Amino acid sequence: MLLAKDELTMAPNNSPPPHPFAGRTMTGAEMLVQILADEGVEVLFGYSGGAILPTYDAVFVHNADVTRPPMPLIVPANEQGAGFMAAGYARATGRVGVCIVTSGPGATNTVTPVRDSLADSIPMVVICGQVPTGAIGTDAFQEAPVSTLMGSVAKHVFLITDPARLEVTVRTAFEIARTGRPGPVVIDVPKDVQNWSGVFVGEGVLPLPGYRARLAQVEARRLDSAACAAFFAMLGESRRPMLYVGGGVVAGEASVALREFSDTFGIPVVTTLMGIGAVDTTSERAMRMLGMHGAAFANYAVDDCDFLIAVGARFDDRVAGDPKRFAKNARHVAHLDIDTSEINKVKTVSWSHVGLLPEALTALTAYGRASAFSSDWSDWQAHCADLRRVHAMNYDRQSDLIQPYYVIEEINRLTKGEAIIATGVGQHQMWAAQYFDFRSPRLWLTSGSMGTMGFGLPAAIGAQFGCPNRLVIDIDGDASIRMNLGELETVTTYNLPVKVVVLNNFGDGMVRQWQKLFFKGRMSASDKSLHKKDFVKAAQADGYPWAKRLDCKADVPTMIEEFIAFPGPAFLEVIIDPDAGVYPMVGPGQPYEAMITGDHIVSRNPAESPRPPGASEMF
């Protein structure tokens, strides 16, 4: 975005005192680093290279100055790892994660983390070095069209060609990343812009009249009495209300308001994969995760409800595979979200509100209390409790093989819902979502919409930097961790107490499960049983002081206790039953009544063979 100098938005007259460095001559790189410090950035993740060297040098100089708060620069095995570390930091803390990479392959290696963060609404700023301004478009060494590549996968992209706009652009990038529906912002900074010298102003942002006007409009929206009355009229008619909660509640810091609303009126809650932790999973209101691999009792409860209240959720295909038959008995659907585009996008709703979720939920709670709203939902609450009991999660507890669910239950017994759990993507991801407890938001870190294998380990590293006093555990699969296995060394390089569990079933477990169900058992490219990787030796080679393999069921409790208790980096490979599956499972494009519950979870519907997905249906 290129703007004239007189279009820059400066601080108002009643602003705080001038920046202490205002008027000082700095290079572009020094300005960039100073703004990172001004934004309260605690840690940087990135990999160096020619086009970003001036900025890396400025980081070094900044950190060498003992009078300034340090911003440690964490160097991963590759730039994708840096991006996911920044995302893990942001997911665990709610603050903007920062990734700094070089041009060309450095920038292209961050495309996946950027897209992943956009899909899950994660605030991140990615600073890419670029070839000098005059060389852009000449296929110069390590040149990549960052604006073009990132423009379709980031919330916003800036290419800075006028160094006078560097300062305000960086501040604006942080503003965009953290406000509204959060997301990643990419700043492409040519090397000559980094080397340029100019006067540091210390204030100002770019004018974004459209964005700020829309944002102000959304933030100003409040539920008036008429809207609240309409909502409670539907709630008053309901005998079986259900809250359907998504990641927007976590991103919007609305968990406290949501819990108060649910508890005040006694409404049960189901969450999406990204909404896990928005309510305490151990509470009596919690009906756990719904959807394709949601708990059977959660899906049945959604089928049975007569009023569905969606909060920060988007009715995606993993939840509403068949939108017309999703919440099929609901006479009314309400939807609260910060993003207007989500309303009526997938499922038509009866009532909606676009605005800040904490304020909206607080307003509804206050209105209900002021109007002395009450309703007897004891029968519905008892029905939900009965669903939880009859259709509880279960597995083959008599098997001589180590079942992954048992491993997670044992870890959960020790962590008690207080640990940060990061995952890769695959069966282990779903088992973790199903069997771990989460007492608070931001304890569950996973790649939701993109489903990016290799996410778990670097995300756990980023989370550990953001939450140094928390126990952080990466639950991974043998296939998923291979994607970013080099980050094992990053853990030990910085002596992080990250715990890594690899549930090894010698293959792409989720793909194999689909191949068994839908492709007549043809294991095309998913069997890794002939691979030679010794994960324990790999961890030892990377400096893990505690690295062991668990292959005997009788040893599970004691070895997991030892693993969790170890004070430093620890690595545990668990050889699990290769045929362990993720159940329940709702086939793509199918309603919950077609849910497959497997051999150990009680179904209330007649068993039926899974229908193969259609050509246009999602994996």
Cα angle at 282 between 276 and 285, to 5 degrees? 80
Q: Is 341 helix (H, G, I), strand (E, B) or coil?
A: helix
Residue carrying structure tokens 């010794």: 534
Instruction: Single out the residue of 498, 549, 527, 514 nearest to residue 619, CA to CA.
Output: 514
Sheet of 307-311, strand order: 286-289, 269-271, 241-245, 307-311, 332-337, 351-354
pLDDT tens sequence across 415-436: 999 999 999 999 999 999 999 9
Active site residue 142: yes
Range in 168-182, 278-292, 504-518, 563-577 with the lowest mean pLDDT? 504-518
Whether residues 113 and 165 share a domain: the answer is yes
Q: Is residue 566 part of a domain?
A: yes
φ, ψ for residue 190, nearest 5 deg = -60, 155
Residues contacting residue 573 through CB under 8 Å, at least 6 positions apart: 502, 504, 535, 536, 548, 549, 550
Q: Which residue has the higher pLDDT, 516 or 413?
A: 413
Q: Alpha carbon of 204 to those of 12, 200, 214, 376, 579: distances in Å? A: 9, 11, 20, 55, 59
Grade residue 16 by pLDDT with cuts at 50, 70 and 90. Answer: confident
Grade residue 13 by pLDDT with cuts at 50, 70 and 90. Answer: low
In 10 A of CB 614, how many CB atoms? 8
Whether residues 199 and 246 share a domain: the answer is no
Active site residue 345: no
Whether residues 408 and 538 share a domain: the answer is yes
Give the pLDDT of residue 4. 39
Q: Is residue 73 part of a domain?
A: yes
Q: Is residue 196 part of a domain?
A: yes
Taking residues 372-388, what's their average pLDDT? Answer: 97
Give a three-class secondary structure readout of 90-141.
Answer: HHHHCCCEEEEECCCHHHHCCHHHHHHHHHCCCCEEEEEEECCHHHCCCCCC
Last residue of a domain, one of 176, 199, 217: 217
Taking residues 473-491, what's their average pLDDT? Answer: 98
pLDDT tens sequence across 550-601: 999 999 999 999 999 999 999 999 999 999 999 999 999 999 999 999 999 9
Q: Is residue 614 part of a domain?
A: no
Grade residue 605 by pLDDT with cuts at 50, 70 and 90. Answer: confident
Active site residue 608: no
Residue carrying structure tokens 């992954």: 404
Annotated active-site residue in 79, 410, 487, 573: 79
Q: Is residue 583 part of a domain?
A: no
Give the pLDDT of residue 6. 43
DSSP 8-state code for residue 347: S
CATH number assigned to the domain comprising residue 278 = 3.40.50.1220
CATH number assigned to the domain comprising residue 13 = 3.40.50.970
pLDDT tens sequence across 262-286: 999 999 999 999 999 999 999 999 9
pLDDT tens sequence across 65-84: 999 999 999 999 999 999 99
Give the pLDDT of residue 11. 47
The answer, yes or no, to whether residue 116 has pLDDT greater than 90, is: yes
DSSP symbols for 42-87: --EEE---GGGHHHHHHHHHHHH-TTS----EE--SSHHHHHHHHH
Average pLDDT over the chain, rounded to an integer: 95
Burial 195-219 (b: 16+ CB within 10 A, else e): ebeeebbbbbbbebeebbeebeebe
Active site residue 167: no
DSSP symbols for 252-265: TT-HHHHHHHHHHH
Whether residues 349 and 492 share a domain: the answer is no
Give the pLDDT of residue 8. 53
Distance from C-alpha of 154 to C-alpha of 46, rounded to nearest angstrom: 18
Whether residues 346 and 449 share a domain: the answer is no
Range in 96-105, 296-305, 400-409, 509-518 with the lowest mean pLDDT? 509-518
Cα angle at 350 between 344 and 356, to 5 degrees? 70
Give the pLDDT of residue 610. 66
Annotated active-site residue in 1, 42, 71, 142: 142
Q: Where do runs of H (alpha helix) occur along 396-466?
A: 404-415, 427-435, 456-466
**Residue 349 has which token pair?**
């709703």
In 10 A of CB 602, how many CB atoms? 12
Whether residues 337 and 413 share a domain: the answer is no
Give the pLDDT of residue 465. 98
Active site residue 203: no
Taking residues 322-327, what's their average pLDDT? Answer: 97
Whether residues 188 and 261 share a domain: the answer is no
Residues contacting residue 432 through CB under 8 Å, at least 6 positions apart: 408, 421, 423, 446, 475
Grade residue 609 by pLDDT with cuts at 50, 70 and 90. Answer: low
Sheet of 444-445, strand order: 444-445, 420-423, 472-477, 499-504, 570-575, 546-550
Last residue of a domain, one of 335, 361, 390: 390
Whether residues 197 and 343 share a domain: the answer is no
333, containing H or E segment: strand 332-337
Taking residues 352-366, what's their average pLDDT? Answer: 98
Residue carrying structure tokens 């170890």: 566
Q: Is residue 593 part of a domain?
A: no
Q: Is 572 helix (H, G, I), strand (E, B) or coil?
A: strand
Q: Could you give the number of structural domains in the chain?
A: 3
Whether residues 382 and 505 share a domain: the answer is no
**Residue 377 has which token pair?**
């939902």
Instruction: Give the burial class of 147: count Cβ atoms within 10 A of its Cβ; 0-12 exposed, 13-18 middle, 19 or more buried.
Output: middle
Distance from C-alpha of 447 to C-alpha of 163, rounded to nearest angstrom: 36
Last residue of a domain, one of 390, 417, 433: 390
Q: Is residue 268 part of a domain?
A: yes
Whether residues 235 and 206 share a domain: the answer is no
* Residues β-bridged to residue 315: none
Instruction: Single out the residue of 406, 423, 427 nearest to residue 526, CA to CA.
Output: 427
Q: Is residue 581 part of a domain?
A: no
Annotated active-site residue in 130, 150, 191, 307: 191
Give the pLDDT of residue 608. 56
Q: Is 378 helix (H, G, I), strand (E, B) or coil?
A: helix
Give a three-class secondary structure readout of 6-44.
Answer: HHCECCCCCCCCCCCCCCCEEEHHHHHHHHHHHCCCCCE
The answer, yes or no, to whether residue 1 has pLDDT greater than 50, is: no
Range of the domain at 96: 5-217
DSSP symbols for 491-529: HHHTT---EEEEEE-SB-HHHHHHHHHHSTT--TTTB-T
Taking residues 101-111, what's their average pLDDT? Answer: 98
Whether residues 212 and 131 share a domain: the answer is yes
Give the pLDDT of residue 139. 96
Annotated active-site residue in 510, 559, 585, 595: 510
Distance from C-alpha of 404 to C-alpha of 421, rounded to nearest angstrom: 15
Grade residue 606 by pLDDT with cuts at 50, 70 and 90. Answer: confident
Please, are residues 32 and 170 in contact by the beta-carbon 8 Å criterion? yes
Burial 235-262 (b: 16+ CB within 10 A, else e): beebebbbbbbbbbbbbbebbebbbbbb
Amino acid in the structure at residue 563:
F
Enter the pTM of the model: 0.96
Whether residues 234 and 211 share a domain: the answer is no
